[in-house]
Amino acid sequence: MNEALRNPKMRTAVKMRAGAAQKDVTEVEKKGRKASKETRRLQLIEATIDSLARRGYADTTLADVADGAGLSRGIVNFHFESKEKLLVATLQFMADEYANHWYSALEKAGERPADQLWALVAADFDRRICTKRKLAAWCAFWGEAKSRPTYQALCGARDVKYQEIVVSLCARLKEEGGYDYVVEPMALAVSTMLEGLWLRLMMGDGLTREKAHEAAVEAITAMFPRHIARTGPK
């Protein structure tokens, strides 16, 4: 496939298919031009995630991204200005997607803190979010985050707001259940456990999304024994 895309003739075929998909979008929107531009950007971002997952941060080249998207070499510098900006846009994209996902899961959950916590956990191991491909891309960014402030800021995906919510859920659960843990450390343990499971999912061979979810449910059930999950892992 990589080889095929290096051949201009083959690439044309790919482009035409992409063009057809784009036309459908165009018919819905008013400005086809702008839609096209946004489509290309998304296409390049997806190709970037692929490359990060396949080759890691250090070996992700613009050539590989362009090939993955079935476009030519100069294309990234036209749509994003530089490699750095492409990577930031990619991380931003993933961070937004992640945040929107858990936030809407939280809105759909009931009022009770236990339901909300289970909803957050389930959201983390949802099909759409928790793919090997995306986890690998996340981890590639984590590896560079400490030395790049821009990444560091965006990598707080489970960011301040998320942490505040987990803290408040732990506080409400404590009150409801009469537990006697200290709230902040407990909330930290819960959210880092989810992160740790992500990390393992990406590295470990045998671990599946379902098993990771099960582990989270098992641990949280033990931590909050008077709040049984109404919705376990599927």
For DNA, the binding residues (CB under 7 A) are 8, 11, 15, 19, 32-34, 36-37, 40, 59-63, 71-79, 81-84
Q: Could you tell which of a copy of itself, DNA, none binds residue 61, using a CB distance below 5 to 8 A set by kind?
A: DNA
Q: Is 10 in the site for a copy of itself (CB under 8 A)?
A: no
Residue 12, phi-psi category: left (phi > 0), alpha (psi -120 to 50), beta (remainder): alpha
CA atoms within 13 A on the CB side of 162: 26
Distance, C-alpha 145 to centroid of its chain:
16
The residue among 42 and 199 lying less far from DNA, judged by its C-beta, is 42
- Among 45, 53, 122, 169, the residue binding a copy of itself under the rule CB under 8 A is 53
Buried b (16+ CB within 10 A) or exposed e, 87-114: bbbbbebbbeebeebbeebbeebeeebb
Per the structure block, which two tokens stand in for 228? Answer: 């049984």
The residue among 106 and 189 lying less far from a copy of itself, judged by its C-beta, is 189
Q: Is 86 in the site for a copy of itself (CB under 8 A)?
A: no
The secondary structure of 212-226, three-state, reads HHHHHHHHHHHHCCC
Rounded Cα–Cα distance for residues 89 and 93 (Å): 6
The residue among 75 and 217 lying less far from a copy of itself, judged by its C-beta, is 217
Which window, 5-13, 17-25, 33-41, 202-210, contacts a copy of itself (CB under 8 A)?
A: 202-210
Per the structure block, which two tokens stand in for 230? Answer: 């109404």
The residue among 91 and 190 lying less far from DNA, judged by its C-beta, is 91
Minimum gap (Å) between residue 39 Cβ and DNA: 8
The residue among 11 and 209 lying less far from DNA, judged by its C-beta, is 11
- Among 29, 81, 96, 218, the residue binding a copy of itself under the rule CB under 8 A is 218
Q: How many CB atoms lie within 10 A of CB 37?
A: 12
Q: Could you tell which of a copy of itself, DNA, none binds residue 46, using a CB distance below 5 to 8 A set by kind?
A: none
Rounded Cα–Cα distance for residues 81 and 89 (Å): 11
**Interacting residue ranges for a copy of itself, rule: CB under 8 A:** 53-59, 136, 139-148, 152, 155-156, 179, 181-182, 185-186, 188-197, 199-200, 202-204, 207, 211-212, 214-219, 221-224
